[in-house]
Homo-oligomer: A and B are copies of this chain.
Amino acid sequence: MSNDSSDRILAELRTWIRDAPTGAQLPSSRALVREHAASPVTVQKALRRLVAEGLVESRPGVGSFVRAVRPSRGADFGWQTAALRTPRARLTALAGPLREAPAGAIALHAGYPGPDLLPERLVRTALVRAARSAAATGRAPAAGLPELRAWFATELADATPSHLAAVTAADVVVAPGSQSALSSIFRALVAPGRPLLVESPTYWGAIQAAQQAGVEVVPVPAGPDGPDPDDLDRAFRETGARAFYAQPSFANPTGVQWSTARAEEVLAVVRHHGAFLVDDDWAHDFGIDSDPRPVAALDDAGHVVYLRTLTKSVSPAVRVAAVIARGPARERILGDRAAESMYVSGLLQQAALEVVSDPGWRSHLRRLRVQLRERRALLLDAVRSVPGVSVDVVPPGGLHLWARLPDGTDVDRLARDCAARGVWVSGGDEWFPAEPSGAFLRLTFTGPEPAGYPEAARVIGDALAADPGSART
């Protein structure tokens, strides 16, 4: 049975149905078999799918018919707004970086590597093996598969100097992606209404997770070398915060990496205030000029809660991340994860473990580093050719450039204008927990179309030239 031809028949029938009146009879199975030179099984498969989706109804012995779409009432659900009240925070399901660009667009807005940068063969092989293993029909422990937890622990332990106690599998909690992990970390470490310090700008998903947890987000400026320890100390003192969220290796969006000296200084401030540092090592597998430097490797007193994800580097479909924490903090995070989702699909965990323990994984990461370096250079050249646009930090790792625009540029309008001309960019405002400190674009160099970078730069330049508010001279 050919999957492709079934999909093709399905697509054609969907179009046919869209233009047909309710009750119209579909071509007979025999006619479809003839028309598409397909097997009866393939045709049946397509028809069954249409029935399952409610587009067609099948009358045995008679045929298949276009199903009536019941008219919508135009109902008013106004009563709900009284029951729901005003939300603590407006959470959006349509954050800019998650929007789906139309086919043919040059997409620089998303936060994921394109399919050509994924270890696709390894992923498919691992998923097929997992599908045939006991993991396909079993339940997984709340904290995750022991072998996968051991792998995550070993990765961090290998970076830990020998005078410190290294983490073990018992310190690891597996989560279905880093967004879920962040949500649990913030809920577990910070009570609603209490302050959470974050770098500014910082990852928009972390800002969303913090808002969902109902905590008060307090920005600390993220300088070109990481947060200033004095700024951080002041913020802890002023707010009484007990937690600071940061991305020390390759921050999103700025690409900044903390030096080891800076990490030690920040850690000293965190310790002094009896606080937690949430070390979000999201780009661990995306080092370019530099290797990741987990701050968690410098601490064995339970001050650093470490987060690592495989979703971006293995596959967006393999939603697997790990939180590594010690002491009561780890127990509270695990309790929250269990209440939130009980456990993570053992199939995805098994597949992730297969991928990262395959020797092909290391060679994939080596190749990836070369590809990231090339693409970063191409996008950097293109963007720096645009008058008025500057990139202050050449990111030593990660997936993005953080491009500064002339003061006063309306970045939302600019992003819309570019999208209208087929170039998708992310306006920088979503990365600021409060008012943005300037006008920025976040530009991803791992989208599918490096050949389109010069065209993208031209479109951005044109849109910028047309911006009435930009103070460019």
- Which A residues have a C-beta under 8 Å from some C-beta of B? 3, 48-49, 52-55, 70-73, 75, 77, 79-85, 87-88, 90-95, 98, 100, 112, 115, 118, 120, 123-124, 127-133, 135-143, 147, 150-151, 153-154, 157-158, 162, 165-166, 168, 176-177, 179-180, 183, 187-189, 191-192, 205, 208-209, 211-212, 214, 242-243, 274-276, 300-302, 315-319, 326-329, 331-332, 334-348, 353, 356-359
Contacts and interface: CB of A to CB of B under 8 A. Distances in A.
Contact of A339 (B79, B83, B91, B135): B91
A214 B214 CA distance: 11
Contacts of A214: 192
A87 B339 CA distance: 14
B242 A137 contact: no
A300 to B, nearest CB: 7
Given A80-B302, A136-B315, A328-B81, A338 B93 contact: yes
Given A154-B52, A176-B341, A112 B139 contact: yes
Nearest to A73: B165
Contacts of A338: 91-95, 98, 208
Nearest to A342: B179
20 contacts: A3-B133, A48-B358, A53-B154, A55-B150, A71-B165, A73-B165, A75-B301, A77-B302, A79-B302, A91-B332, A92-B335, A93-B334, A128-B132, A139-B317, A177-B342, A183-B339, A209-B339, A211-B339, A212-B340, A317-B345
Given A212-B339, A359-B48, A191 B88 contact: yes
Contacts of A91: 332, 335-336, 338-339
Contacts of A212: 187, 336, 339-340
A141 B341 contact: no
A76 to B, nearest CB: 8
Contact of A127 (B82, B153, B347): B347
A14 to B, nearest CB: 10
A218 to B, nearest CB: 16
A339 to B, nearest CB: 4
A3 B129 contact: yes
A328 B128 CA distance: 40
A317 B92 contact: no
Contacts of A95: 338
Copies in the complex: 2
Contacts of A209: 339-340
Contacts of A157: 54, 70
Nearest to A72: B165
Contacts of A72: 165, 168
Nearest to A110: B139
Nearest to A129: B3
A298 to B, nearest CB: 15
A138 B316 contact: yes
Contact of A179 (B55, B329, B341): B341
B128 A54 contact: no
A289 B83 CA distance: 37
A137 B118 CA distance: 8
A142 B99 CA distance: 10
Contact of A275 (B83, B112, B188, B341): B83
Given A48-B359, A95-B338, A138 B317 contact: yes
Contacts of A329: 77, 80, 84
Given A118-B137, A357-B52, A274 B131 contact: no
Contact of A94 (B82, B142, B358): B142
